[in-house]
A and B are shown apart, each in its own frame.
Chain A
Amino acid sequence: MTATMTQCLLRLVEEDYKLSDYQSEIAPRWCAGCGDIGILTAIQRLCRDEQIMPEKTVFVSGIGCSSRLPHYMNAYGFHGLHGRALPVAEGVKLRRPDLDVFVTTGDGDCCSIGAAHWLHAIRYNMNMTVLLHDNQVYGLTKMQASPTSPRDLKTNTTPYGAYLNPLNPLTVTLGVTNVSFVAQAVDWIPDLLYDIIAQAHRHRGLSFVRVLQRCPEFMNHRFDEAVHDPSKTRILTHSDGLRLKPEISRIYRNQETHDPLDMPRALAIAALSDEIPVGVLYRDPSVPCYEELREAERPNTPDLIRTVLDEEFDKVTIWPQVEDASTGVE
């Protein structure tokens, strides 16, 4: 038994990842005060706390400020095309269930150019954690209106104010068939941001977390009201939900016990216009995952490939004829 004990100890030592083990050598190039920094920190804390193996983790992103996140993680990263993070992540996950897949995307990336993929990703419900960094503006391209920009927002493409009401990513996501996890967090309450991402990560299925984040460059005062007035934030709790520290509970007294299987209430909460809900809006672990539905019954061994090919060829094979039958008489 001594040997086994030693092995266990060795394993423990080996797997004792520290926060710095998840930090890449590249320092984040986000603006000072950017909400993305808080999200990165929460993810790195989660990786450390869950002792996630960096080589078994893939962070997939699209294009935009938020999508730079994979560069700052010491893990496998895929910083791909604008709007296409989700299909890439689905391709990664399909045949590699051993990989832990995170997607970081922004309001332009997910809700505008990649909107088709967003809806279908929810429907596929593959087991991955999707973080929508929603700062309600295009930052990397220097302040254009995004689909989630508030009405009347003046930007470089809407100098007279945004014409349309913003799209609500929460109600949209909740409305898609097979939705299995929807939560909302805000970058200015780091404890809850961490807790919500941790819950999302624990969920089996696609967990969609919208993180309201501040853009100090272009939307500096967008969330001031909520930041300064805790009553504008509605904290959603349930028995195995957020673990509110007493100091958080003392500040954020606007709390609601919400059953995360209650879809009508989730939709009502998602649609709140005067308060910002924070917590898990919806959670249904029973929704099947696409990669499990498509899981192979048998591994694709060379022998199996040979057998199936031969079966298919047999159906269309002309074997050499002993006699020439085509000139035969009736």
Chain B
Amino acid sequence: MSMSSQASKKSKPAKQRPGNGETRLSEAPKPRPALLLDEHIVEIVSDSGEGAQRCGQSFGAIAARLGNGIWTVEIIPAEIRPPPRSIAGASGNRVRLASYRVTNGGDEADVVVAFNEQVLLSRVRTGEIKPGGIILLENMWQNDRDETIAAGYMKVCEEIRAAGYRLYEIPMEAECMKYVPDPRRGKNMFALGMLCGIYSLDAEIARAQVRFVFAKKDQKIIDANIELLDAGRAWALENLDLKFAVPASKTSEPQVVMNGNAALALGVVASGMEVCAMYPITPATSASHYLSEIFEKVGCVVHQAEDEISACAFAIGASYAGKCAVTITSGPGLSLKQEAIGLAVMGEIPLVVVNVQRGGPSTGQPTKAEQGDLLAACFGGHGDAPKVVLAVSSIEDCFYSIITARKIAETFNMVVIVLSDASLATAQQPFPRPSFNEGWLAPPIDQSAVPENALPYDWDSRTGIAPRFIPGQPGGMHCLTGLAHDRLSHVAYGPEINEEGIRQRSHKLATFQKTLKTPKVFGDKDGDLLLVGWGSTCGAIEEAVETLRARGHRVSSIHLKFLQPMASGIGDILQRFDKVMTIENNWCDSLDEDLINEENRRYSNLALLLRARYLVDVDCWGEVRGQPLKPGAIVKAALPKLEKV
């Protein structure tokens, strides 16, 4: 058993001096009192298929079960099986655990567990690890038969130490060999055990989580994994001088832990919708996977269509026949569905479209986070096609927004586009366990005869809303058409009637807008700078605002749930700040570049919408690095705006 660290390269167990202003560790061998922390960020990375993701997710779930606030972020390579030991192949999970509720993945990691030095490099080189951070690295490579691998390993270790990281080389493989013949399967549970030991997480809760994760496997496999878990814990306690505790906050109500896509799927069930038509696309598909598992239990159907267009048309058909449907997709799928969405707008058919955004354009970055589809959602199709666009900002919001979306769709006979993104899709966070309410469901479809002389598009002159006739209703027979039509649903190309139809469909959006509440300002109601965001960035933006306010800056933020239409009162809020800047995970040109000036600058999605609507000189800051925005990066982006005040 060999193990070394920055401080002591040969001894076992290592006695590590605390660094980075942490309080002192006891010299007693064990049990050591744990160093109490408010929060920590832990990453675990491996080659794809070595189970680092499962390890990280389980670690987060165990901490959450114990009452910690957590947020997990998946680290996903683009390929199914990238080459082993490659920088591009790093796969794993980041877990931020805290004594309080956390709303985002945070800044740099405090601790990293890496199964080889190459995947570690991918995290180090992208600046994901805190300076002086703790690195727990599998050391089997130092004795690799391939000399280039062994040499490469040694070189990276030197580089890591030279850069000031606290490196612990750990014989994970050798330790696992004591329990299983093939440590490639199971090393992740050993690592999980180590982390549970380091962070003083309850052993029995950890075992319960492992049993839960492997619930579908046979007892032998469960037992082997628990053995590895316990071995990892014991090894860490015996050999490492790292002992932390992140005290949990006591919660009085039950919490559920899941990722955004699971919350979307449960939201679909809770909304009472009966049909989900979809086509596989990353990163949306896992929502449909989960839904496929549970939807039939409530007597409903996930239909995997032959393509995205068909999925949308199928959902429209089901909705038209009275069974409000949802189609779940991601960027390229949204592009393909646009014509069908236009038909639903024209025919006034309720429809929920979920777009779990990814990096674009084209195939872009399928597994990576980006918020580039806002304008496509609002204006993507041809012609004037008013529809509701809303964005989810937390895991909990993923659940409830689907229920809201269905309600809006059926109340206004409109298309509702729900925007999530790759960072929410895979991030896990606890939220209060929802309690089912029958009010979430819609009443059974109306099959009674329509009143005599009733018209299929009898638009109300004040609201634009027309009652809908559903097939099966005697007397309601009409031909719905995507062509311009009159109140009888007859094809009509007359100048007045075309304008009339467009006006009524537009007015429905205005009517809906009257029901929206002004978003709350996070921070003071006025000040020097207002940050405006939408979607998954809410937690990071608010954390940045808190940091800046703690430093004495007069900064606030608002987060928009409804992007189309926007609630009343937003313009007033913008006016109360000297400067306004959107924070978005999408592209905007920077005026710092020589080429760019006010004449040619392209703005971020939301900034463009705000500038157009409120005539306020809204600035914007964004990143398209395929990752969730970090609070620290937002602080950095905001500071220059404050210094110039």
Interface positions of A (Cβ within 8 A of B): 24, 26, 54-56, 58-60, 63, 70-71, 73-81, 84, 87-96, 98-99, 116-117, 119-120, 294, 296-302, 304-306, 308-313, 315-321, 324-330
Contact = CB atoms under 8 A, between A and B. Distances in A.
B266 A312 contact: yes
7 contacts: A55-B475, A56-B471, A63-B482, A77-B479, A80-B316, A87-B314, A325-B67
A297 B313 CA distance: 25
A330 B299 contact: no
A253 B373 CA distance: 63
Contacts of B197: 330
Interface in B319-344: 319-323, 325, 339-340, 343
A138 to B, nearest CB: 18
Contact of A305 (B199, B272, B347, B474): B272
B624 interface: no
B248 A324 contact: yes
A78 B275 contact: no
Contacts of B275: 91, 94-95
A229 B58 CA distance: 77
A118 B65 CA distance: 50
Contacts of B325: 91
B316 A326 contact: no
A88 B314 contact: yes
Given A76-B477, A80-B481, 16 more contacts: A76-B478, A77-B479, A80-B316, A80-B480, A81-B339, A88-B316, A94-B323, A296-B300, A301-B299, A305-B272, A309-B266, A313-B434, A324-B250, A327-B245, A329-B31, A330-B31
A55 B472 contact: yes
B540 interface: no
B490 A26 contact: yes
B586 to A, nearest CB: 30
A91 B315 contact: yes
Contacts of A93: 317, 321
B247 A305 contact: no
A17 to B, nearest CB: 12
A78 B477 CA distance: 11
Contact of B314 (A26, A90, A298): A90
A73 B477 CA distance: 9
B303 A116 contact: no
A60 B472 contact: no
A126 to B, nearest CB: 11
B477 A55 contact: yes
Given A81-B482, A96-B322, A320 B252 contact: yes
B321 A96 contact: yes
A10 to B, nearest CB: 16
B248 A326 contact: yes
B206 to A, nearest CB: 11
Contacts of B281: none
A325 B248 contact: yes
Interface in B402-439: 430, 433-434, 436, 438
Given A71-B481, A326-B67, A330-B237, A96 B323 contact: yes
Contact of A58 (B201, B202, B294, B321): B321
Nearest to B63: A326
Contacts of A92: 317-318, 320-321, 471
B477 A317 contact: no
Nearest to B234: A330
Contact of B200 (A84, A94, A327): A327
Interface in B244-278: 245-248, 250-258, 262, 266, 269-270, 272, 274-275, 277
Interface in B56-89: 63-68
Interface stretch (B304-312, B521-529, B554-562): B304-312
A327 B205 CA distance: 13
A21 to B, nearest CB: 10
Contacts of A84: 309-310, 313, 340
Contact of A80 (B63, B303, B323, B482): B482
Nearest to B205: A325
Nearest to A75: B477
Given A55-B476, A77-B479, A94 B318 contact: yes
A316 B277 CA distance: 26
Contact of B251 (A99, A320, A330): A320
B436 A310 contact: yes
Question: In the complex, which of the residues B31, B254, B272, B315 has the most CB atoms of chain A within 10 Å of its own CB atom?
Answer: B254
B483 interface: yes
B257 to A, nearest CB: 5
Interface string B435-454: 01010010000000000000
Contacts of B277: 91
Contact of A316 (B66, B258, B315, B319): B258
Contacts of B310: 84, 87, 116-117, 120
A94 B301 CA distance: 9
Contacts of B471: 55-56, 58, 76, 92, 96, 99
B274 A96 contact: no
A94 B314 CA distance: 9
Given A81-B343, A120-B310, A71 B31 contact: no
Contacts of B25: none
Contacts of A328: 200, 202
B301 A76 contact: no
B343 A80 contact: yes
Contacts of A330: 30-31, 197, 200, 203, 237
A315 B30 CA distance: 35
A94 B324 CA distance: 12
B31 to A, nearest CB: 5
B473 interface: yes
A290 B579 CA distance: 58
Contacts of A318: 64-67, 251, 254-257, 430
A117 B299 CA distance: 26
Nearest to B344: A80
A11 B257 CA distance: 57
Nearest to A69: B479
Contact of B313 (A80, A310, A311, A316): A80
B34 interface: yes
Contacts of A301: 299
A70 to B, nearest CB: 5
Contacts of A327: 34, 36, 200, 245, 247-248
B615 interface: no
B479 A300 contact: no
Given A87-B317, A305-B441, A320 B270 contact: no
Nearest to B257: A316
A126 B325 CA distance: 19
Contacts of B296: 296-297
Contacts of A308: 269, 294, 297-298
Contact of B480 (A77, A120, A298, A313): A77
A71 B311 CA distance: 25
A93 B317 CA distance: 8
B481 A91 contact: no
Nearest to A54: B477
Interface string B5-45: 00000000000000000000000001100101000000000
